[in-house]
């Protein structure tokens, strides 16, 4: 990792904290699933924290993101609150979507998160449309479109990248390449180069280590600034890895992914361990300070889970509310 510059210590510590918040959120969500307290299935973001945090820390609350089925990380990184998130995962009335959306549709309007999406690639048009609105209305916010390597197979991506490039829209396409599309290796479902596809439209594209939060953040800051000047769109492919199965129920996965491979990423490329070591090495935080921060996040999460478990479900009368806007 590069030496400390540009950003100050508080920013670095916040980045670290946000990554830990995501990991801790996911550990708790997984536990809720395993103990049969969470309805349905959910997709864990653990392992990919540096992507969401590196990018979202370069954005303001006015900047928008669109998220995916693996969306808890984006949601936390964009500033969401644990209580409302856990309430949503448990289908409670105080959840971000009043229990109507659940894990796969969590959205946080107050921080510019336009929502997770259960349709792979389903948010590519939405993100690009948000950028079109910014341009039309003369607003200077930027929209980041998160999607996976598997989602690059959706034709929609190529339609919207073409328009974004033609009209110089302030959108950044962030492809989280975690090597797998469900139970299939990316190499088996993606021909050629992913960045070259963006380049074919004249979009500047970058391929970076998605486990290095500083590198992700530094690049995103530059691209966001350029987007604000009308130089967008951009495309970033971030190499990363998901630690859990495709979803929480995907436990016996040796048939498509080896334990050795999982271990290699966890032991040697973990974004949190790497960044923590760097913080200590640079004298930005001591081990004790980091441990205290971790403990505080764990406490926050435990409290939020307890709160959500005790929180009421929405009243049945809410079932046909919100079908149409007033």
Ligand X SMILES: Cc1ncc(C[n+]2csc(CCOP(=O)(O)OP(=O)(O)O)c2C)c(N)n1
Q: Which residues bind Mg ion (CB under 5 A)?
A: 148-150, 178, 180
Among positions 21, 64, 69, 269, the unique one binding ligand X when judged by CB under 6 A: 69
Name the residues that contact other proteins, by CB under 8 A.
39-41, 91-92, 97-105, 117-122, 150-151, 153-155, 181-184, 188-190, 255-256, 313-314, 316, 318-320, 323
| By CB under 6 A, residue 67 contacts ligand X | no
Beta carbon of residue 91, minimum distance to other proteins (angstroms, whole number): 3
User: 147 has which bridge partners?
Assistant: 175
What is the smallest separation between the CB atom of 312 and other proteins, expressed in angstroms?
9
Q: Nearer to ligand X by C-beta: 85 or 116?
A: 116
Residue 70 interacting entry, from Mg ion, ligand X, other proteins, none, C-beta within 5 to 8 Å by type? ligand X
Q: List the x/- string, 116-155, binding to ligand X by CB under 6 A.
A: --xxx--------------------------xxxxx----
Name which of Mg ion, ligand X, other proteins, none residue 104 binds, using a CB cut-off of 5 to 8 Å depending on partner kind: other proteins
DSSP string, 6-71: SS-HHHHHHHHHHHHHHHHHHHHHHHHHHTT-S-S-----TT-HHHHHHHHTT--TTSEEE--SS-
- Does the CA dihedral 261-67-141-161 come out positive or negative? positive
Tokens coding 23:
């990991």
Q: Which of 21, 23, 70, 276 binds ligand X (CB under 6 A)?
A: 70
The 3-state secondary structure of 75-98 reads: HHHCCCCHHHHHHHHCCCCCCCCC
260 binds, among Mg ion, other proteins, ligand X, none (CB under 5 to 8 A by kind): none
Tokens of 239: 């190499």
Q: Is 148 exposed, middle or buried (0-12, 13-18, 19+ CB in 10 A)?
A: buried
Q: Please, which of residues 231-250 interact with ligand X by CB under 6 A?
A: 246
Q: Say how far apart CA 16 and CA 290 lie, in whole Å.
A: 9
Q: How many residues form the binding site for ligand X (CB under 6 A)?
A: 15
- Judged on CB neighbours under 10 Å (0-12, 13-18, 19+), 139 is exposed
């Amino acid at each position: 990792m590069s030496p400390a510059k540009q950003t100050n210590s508080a920013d670095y510590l916040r980045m670290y904290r946000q990554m830990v918040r995501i990991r801790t959120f996911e550990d708790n969500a997984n536990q809720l699933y395993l103990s049969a307290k969470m309805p349905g299935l959910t997709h864990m973001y653990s392992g990919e924290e540096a992507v969401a945090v590196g990018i979202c820390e370069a954005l303001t609350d006015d900047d928008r993101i669109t998220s995916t089925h693996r969306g808890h990380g984006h949601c936390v990184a964009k500033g969401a609150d644990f209580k409302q998130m856990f309430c949503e995962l448990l289908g409670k009335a105080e959840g971000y979507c009043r229990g109507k959306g659940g894990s796969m549709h969590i959205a946080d309007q107050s921080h510019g998160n336009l929502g997770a999406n259960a349709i792979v690639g389903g948010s590519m048009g939405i993100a690009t449309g948000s950028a079109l609105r910014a341009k039309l209305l003369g607003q200077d916010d930027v929209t980041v479109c998160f999607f996976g390597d598997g989602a690059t197979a959706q034709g929609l991506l190529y339609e919207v990248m073409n328009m974004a490039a033609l009209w110089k829209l302030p959108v950044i396409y962030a492809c989280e390449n975690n090597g797998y599309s469900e139970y299939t290796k990316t190499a088996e479902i993606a021909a050629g180069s992913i960045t070259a596809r963006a380049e074919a439209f004249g979009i500047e594209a970058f391929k970076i280590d998605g486990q290095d939060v500083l590198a992700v953040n530094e690049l995103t800051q530059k691209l966001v600034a350029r987007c604000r000047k009308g130089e967008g769109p951009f495309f970033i492919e971030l190499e990363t890895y998901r630690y859990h199965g495709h979803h929480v129920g995907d436990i016996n996965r040796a048939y498509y992914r080896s334990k050795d491979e999982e271990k290699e990423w966890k032991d040697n490329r973990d974004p949190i361990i790497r960044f923590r070591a760097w913080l200590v090495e640079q004298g930005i935080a001591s081990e004790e300070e980091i441990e205290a921060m971790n403990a505080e996040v764990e406490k926050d999460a435990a409290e939020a889970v307890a709160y959500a478990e005790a929180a009421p479900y929405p009243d049945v009368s809410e079932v046909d509310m919100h079908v149409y806007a007033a």
